[in-house]
A = this chain, B = another copy of it.
């Protein structure tokens, strides 16, 4: 690579790009950790994209109609931090750059959406950003259809590396984007032929251009260091009605001794080599310095979109007040005021009708009353629509022929669906929910963790939640997945026991602002247990007394979901024997743990023996409630699973694994005996 030639060919461009490169080198050297090579390789593409195309205003990071920029190869975080600093975002000062990767700084090792407003999505786990971007682009299409191009009309740009493209989730993403013809999605592939282990060829020879074409993408290949070629490719990509991939042939760690090597991927900290690189760039800036003129040019870029933004605001003001309020409401993620009354009315009706329904069917019933009053919901399923009960009448199919449709056929792509839902929620203006079998939480898991970390209120509709699904057998029967969800910070797991609790669970999910919700729902029918209408949301307490002991309270049965029915049946037998038995329904351990100690003690007083009942592993958080929070409370037992399930009709499996009222009764007797 002849750096001098690059400099001479485009001197203005060169210095702007050099600023990204030198800030990256300086920050990584100071932190003694981080990834230098990627920002150095992609600086030219970034400079052209931000300099000439990206519609943004550094003074208004929240402008709803800005273009979205996603750094899927998030380890190259100094690229985005450099750009934010250079273009004048207030939140990234030179001090933040100096404190790259240090405690309390906003310039974390990987870009975190909860630390910086201008970081659209947290990236780092590879492939997630490109998969999020599908959701961003879908949100834009959906909102454009709803609010018109005057209010919503922007692009989603993504940088992705070989790591992103090797991760399987990228295939789910690009196939979905291709099917959906997301024409305003433009991905730049940082094609540098290097991974951490060495030359890419060690592990991969995929023809990425052909692969994207096969998925229905518009594809171009360019020299990633030629600003005019990059510019032309972006123009062509914008003109395409398909999603676009621009294959940018780049040199990792351009201009550094480690260029084009796997060493260039990581932290370049050698002071002499850093100096030599700056010399090659033709700049004499000190550490964390950028020539004033260059900084000024970048700040002009940061202000380039200001007029667009102001014009947009004027257009927004022209809308009716009602329309403005609705737009603001959905972007604020606020539920409509009438949601609460709707849920209450639904609960009242159900407590009277007392249907016997699977909670997956109850969930659909709730959606049937909620979807019509919440036009921001965008539902879907990973090819299990009829099983997850996620589709309600009149939603319409979201696809290239109908962007007003509110139901997405995600295909057999649990991971891609979850990542797209993160993107949908992060974009703002839509509230996504999506379904699959609870066991396939496994497939969606990397994106579900990011829902929690990024604090996005997506709703996972996870049906077929235990051995209760029956014949499909252990590959489909979750036993450890409640433990997984409950152990994950900022993830709300709710396993309702009947239609009323399902409605309350949905109300919590739909009003959540910063926490994803996992609704854990049965395949099998369950009776209505909440037969007495309460307007309060009892699920919000996490656990509550569903049936009080008659006579002296000798036993407390604690159960969730489908096992609450078993607890109630056991109670009946025990009471008949004169053993006073309380049943506690515990749809959400997380919410119960959030209650004050007085409430927790009221629901689970010391003294009576305790039996926990859940068709899952005890490791899913049971010890705390059974052994007692202070470890001195009660004799206890757990009725649940201790191994993987099996293939047979559901009722036989409950018998086989001893999850029966009879066994619960026997356990209580033994504990009292």
Contacts and interface: CB of A to CB of B under 8 A. Distances in A.
A216 B210 contact: no
A483 interface: yes
Contact of A195 (B103, B123, B412, B449): B412
B110 A475 contact: yes
Contacts of A171: 168, 170-171
B474 A112 contact: yes
A122 B439 CA distance: 15
Contacts of A410: 203
Interface string A88-122: 00000000000001111100111010000000001
A175 interface: yes
A413 interface: yes
Given A170-B168, A480-B489, A633-B631, A648 B411 contact: no
Interface stretch (A221-229, A248-256, A619-627): A619-627
A164 to B, nearest CB: 8
Interface residues of A, number: 115
Contacts of A175: 166, 204, 206
Contacts of A108: 473, 646-647
Nearest to A656: B103
A197 B471 contact: no
Interface string A449-474: 11011000000000000000011111
Interface stretch (A325-333, A377-385, A661-669): A377-385
Interface in A630-673: 630-636, 642-644, 646-649, 652-653, 656
Contacts of A168: 167-172, 413, 415-416
Interface stretch (A48-56, A143-151, A440-448, A508-516): A440-448
A544 to B, nearest CB: 22
A387 B205 CA distance: 23
Contact of A631 (B484, B636, B653): B636
A464 to B, nearest CB: 12
Contacts of A483: 483-484, 487, 619
B471 A34 contact: yes
Interface string A67-83: 00000001000000000
A178 interface: yes
Nearest to A384: B196
B635 A631 contact: yes
A491 to B, nearest CB: 9
A215 B74 CA distance: 25
Contact of A445 (B166, B386, B442): B442
A163 interface: yes
A196 B489 contact: no
A476 interface: yes
A490 interface: yes
The 5 A-B pairs of least Cβ separation, nearest first, read: A168-B168, A203-B411, A623-B623, A483-B487, A171-B171
10 contacts: A33-B470, A102-B649, A109-B470, A124-B475, A125-B475, A483-B619, A487-B617, A489-B642, A628-B631, A630-B635
